[in-house]
A and B are shown apart, each in its own frame.
Chain A
Amino acid sequence: GQQVMQIPQYQHVQEGEDFTTYCNSSTTLSNIQWYKQRPGGHPVFLIQLVKSGEVKKQKRLTFQFGEAKKNSSLHITATQTTDVGTYFCAGRGGSTGFQKLVFGTGTRLLVSP
């Protein structure tokens, strides 16, 4: 079935350092979404990318969708302690069906002040 992997699994940075998480799907995606889950919280939608090669920015966050629509990345510039949490990518599409929203394995980010 469709699998979505993320690397790294965990990253610990000092406040002010940059952070990047990578998302790779075993199949082509119709779109990619990114969610953030704070410790003890629930996933919250951040953004959606639809077009091949698309790049979107939200303040210090930059999201990219690969040309082949099988990978994506989230880059945070100058991390802050408020960025702490687990970042998930989620994709729809692939051989297992169009409707499923399959989440990646997640990258847990810890930011030290």
Chain B
Amino acid sequence: DSGVTQTPKHLITATGQRVTLRCSPRSGDLSVYWYQQSLDQGLQFLIQYYNGEERAKGNILERFSAQQFPDLHSELNLSSLELGDSALYFCASSVYSGANTEAFFGQGTRLTVV
């Protein structure tokens, strides 16, 4: 158990809908990362927060947004969902946001858009 909690584990929704994925980082970790992993693909970096502030952005679609709350949990909002958004979404956390910090991954949320 990495200590990073993601909910829900599975989500099935229809095209055009909006969903929210939730992540609770490990106790003491200030940085949260979101990654998208499509079937048999690599981990695509979406966005990173540190202590409530956005620190880095990857190729995140405009339909996607995220935030980190004062209690350090994070939410990833996906809207106007398309079939191609079906993927495994991982949240990871680390103590700091810079170099020399390993990331601890949650179990992921499997999103299926039908």
Chain A contacts of B48 at CB under 8 A?
99-101
Contact for A104 among B42, B100, B106, CB less than 8 A: B42
CB pair B100 A100 closer than 8 Å? no
CB pair A31 B100 closer than 8 Å? yes
Give chain B interface residues in 89-109, CB to chain A under 8 Å.
90, 92, 97-100, 102-108
- Total A-B pairs, Cβ < 8 A: 63
Question: How many residues of chain B get a CB closer than 8 Å to chain A's CBs?
Answer: 27
Q: Choose among A88, A103, A108 the residue with the greatest number of B CB atoms under 10 Å from its CB.
A: A103
B83 within 8 A of A: no
CB pair B97 A99 closer than 8 Å? yes
User: Given A101-B33, A106-B42, A30–B105 Cβ distance below 8 Å?
Assistant: no
Contact for B99 among A1, A42, A92, A103, CB less than 8 A: A92
Chain B contacts of A102 at CB under 8 A?
45, 58
A44 within 8 A of B: yes
Q: What is the CB-to-nearest-CB distance from A3 to chain B, in angstroms, rounded to a whole number?
A: 11
Complex CA distance for A43 and B92, rounded to whole angstroms: 9
Complex CA distance for A88 and B63, rounded to whole angstroms: 28
Give chain A interface residues in 27-55, CB to chain B under 8 Å.
30-31, 33, 42-45, 48, 50
